[in-house]
Structure 1
Amino acid sequence: MLRGAMPAPASAPNPCGPAIPTAFFARDANIVARALIGADLRFDGVGGIIVETEAYDATDPASHSFKGATPRNAAMFGPPGRAYVYRSYGIHWCLNLVCGAEGEGSAVLIRAIEPTAGLAEMARRRSLTDPRRLCSGPGRLCQALGIDGSANHVPLDRPPFELFAASGLQPVVAGPRIGITRGTDLPWRYSAKGSKFLSRPQ
């Protein structure tokens, strides 16, 4: 058993709202990044509540799409409502949800979730027991959920992905993004106010 949380089966019932449709993602990256706070994200039944996101688009010097499309970042250019999964520094997988218009090069990085479903499996994959550290960062999150490059360009509205809308309004805090050297003045990082599951306090 994990400290502070009871293990939940991968098939735990969805505590949030209806499934998020593809049309949800056909909007500005910052609108989508903020709206995703409180949504329920699962991959093969394992996941939880999104508590931290970052927005990126082609006008942003910190974005993979800033210099145009390449074979590596092709998924980021759409269509919206798909996963863009890349490897950071050759070590950690990172999950992004593609948004905006097709060809635009916009996506939302999922930085952290509050784990609620499949905690025992997450703990096994991460080799730790503290639920606050299971998914507190994009690399940790992908390891906990079992997401790798095979999920790149996969539609978000069908298995293995599941996305459910947030239930009610979520208090959201905005601030600078983390781990970048360009575009550091943009307040494009969004997090659930007061969450203990963030990659870093806002």
Structure 2
Amino acid sequence: MTSGHLDDCRPILLPIEFFDRAAPELAIRLIGVSMFVAGVGGVIVETEAYTRDDPASHSFRGPTLRNAAMFGHAGTAYVYRSYGLHWCFNIVARGGGAVLLRALEPTAGLDIMLERRGGASPLCSGPGRLAQALAIDASFDALPVYQEPFKLSDRTCEPDVAVGPRIGISQAREKPWRFGLQGSPQLSRRFPLR
């Protein structure tokens, strides 16, 4: 796959088993996957991984009402509100880990996304914008992402993945667990040059 281009990949729907892997592995594997919510969405171009033993993870201190979805089956949606302002959408990985979706390259329902975002762009660059554009809120928490209204389809070619430290957190910032499609203009923040 060439940098920033996803046109040559045909979709294969993802089974539940796809998600049953450690969060860093799932985060890498989700780059280039197409995700739609009720027909609106695009290609995942940026993710961040969080594991159960990671002090930056919501699951680090154990189960609570807020993070209960993280202790469910891999492939479950975990949705939370960040700083009381923005919804953030995660996919639960193996063992209490999760992958935060940070950016999406919009491919379907652009007019709907633009309306949901109040005409603001970029549409899906950043976790709050992504959730708003896809109309994801607390009602999606604990839903399986391998069933409607979600539709995730796999890539058939290997993307060029950029790797860097996570952003917007205060603990364990040094972990290189932010992943992105190299060269994508939709990233929430550029990766350091290799």
One-letter amino acid matched to 2:175: L
State the match for 2:87 in structure 1.
Answer: 93
Cα distance in 1 between the residues matched to 2:120 and 2:49: 30
How far apart are residue 129 of structure 1 and its match? 5.8
Unpaired runs of at least 5, structure 1: 1-14
SS in 2 for 1:95: strand
1:61 matches 2:55: yes
Unpaired runs of at least 5, structure 2: 1-8
Cα distance in 2 between the residues matched to 1:16 and 1:117: 15
Please give the per-residue CA displacement for 1:57-102, whole angstroms capped at 9, x wherever unaligned: 11111000111111100001121111000111111000000111xx
SS in 1 for 2:32: coil
How far apart are residue 19 of structure 1 and its match? 0.6
Q: Which of 107, 113, 128 is residue 119 of structure 2 equivalent to?
A: 128
State the match for 1:82 in structure 2.
Answer: 76
Moved over 6 A (4+): none
One-letter amino acid matched to 2:155: A
Matches within 5 A, 1:29-48: 29-48=23-42
Contact kept, 8 Å, 1:78 with 1:99, in 2: the verdict is no
Q: Which of 41, 45, 49 is residue 43 of structure 2 equivalent to?
A: 49
SS in 2 for 1:197: coil
SS in 1 for 2:119: coil
One-letter amino acid matched to 1:109: L
One-letter amino acid matched to 1:160: P
TM-score between the two structures when normalised by the length of structure 1: 0.88
Cα distance in 2 between the residues matched to 1:184 and 1:157: 30
Contact kept, 8 Å, 1:16 with 1:39, in 2: the verdict is no
TM-score between the two structures when normalised by the length of structure 2: 0.92
Tell me the percent identity: 54
Cα distance in 1 between the residues matched to 2:116 and 2:20: 33
